[in-house]
A and B are shown apart, each in its own frame.
Chain A
Amino acid sequence: AQRVTQPEKLLSVFKGAPVELKCNYSYSGSPELFWYVQYSRQRLQLLLRHISRESIKGFTADLNKGETSFHQKKPFAQEEDSAMYYCALRYNFNKFYFGSGTKLNVKP
């Protein structure tokens, strides 16, 4: 069965510090992974997808098939990065399985 695990419910860092949000997955097929973000009182929106290998708002994520991970990193966290982050796995062509989420709190 497919699974997405985000081991940290809450992550607190100071502004300017590096941040890493962890995501591990379990899937027998070829994985397609995403990071979604939900800022306070806003709708859930796409942040990163593994296929793009792009940097969005300073965040980058690498798919590591050997470790079955899709962690995302930012070298210098900003206060506006405070949000809820969800890792998601697309499976059965059209369905998405979401992790339980990590709340990032960037302190001034």
Chain B
Amino acid sequence: DVKVTQSSRYLVKRTGEKVFLECVQDMDHENMFWYRQDPGLGLRLIYFSYDVKMKEKGDIPEGYSVSREKKERFSLILESASTNQTSMYLCASRARTGLHTEAFFGQGTRLTVV
């Protein structure tokens, strides 16, 4: 059974705090993604990593950074959390090989910034 695991289901942080969201996959996938999911806006890509130490900005990277030191782990970092970053965050992974392979998602982290 494929697994993408996000370290927290719920997180409450204060404005200005540095926040780390962790994601681990056990499928040896090269590609990993961070999305945020907001009602009426769907999923928006924050950052994408196609290999260890490699990253690419998505559609809404402002206020976020990422780290991929090991193949199985992809971290999303909020350098200074703000209330407009309150959202559901989804991590996903996908194999590089195979044109039509699907993306597998984690269960999500609901972050509230107060």
Q: B42 near A43 (CB under 8 angstroms)?
A: no
Interface of B is mostly: strand
Is the pair B105, A94 in contact by a Cβ cutoff of 8 Å?
Answer: no
| B87: Cβ under 8 A from any A Cβ | no
| Smallest beta-carbon distance A40→chain B, Å | 12
A45 with B105: in contact, given A51-B100, A94-B31, A96-B33 (CB under 8 Å)?
Answer: yes
Report the interface size for chain B: residues with CB under 8 A from the other chain.
25
The number of residue pairs between A and B whose CB atoms lie closer than 8 Å in the complex comes to 47
Residues of chain B at the chain A interface (Cβ within 8 Å)? 4, 31, 33, 35, 40-45, 48, 50, 58, 90, 92, 94, 96, 99-100, 102-103, 105-108
Which residues of A pack against B, CB within 8 Å?
Answer: 6, 9, 32, 34, 42-46, 49, 51-52, 86, 94-101
Q: A46-B103, A98-B42, A100-B42 are in contact. List 16 more A-B contacts (CB 8 A).
A: A32-B99, A43-B105, A44-B92, A45-B105, A46-B102, A49-B100, A49-B102, A52-B100, A86-B43, A94-B94, A96-B33, A96-B92, A97-B45, A98-B44, A100-B41, A101-B42
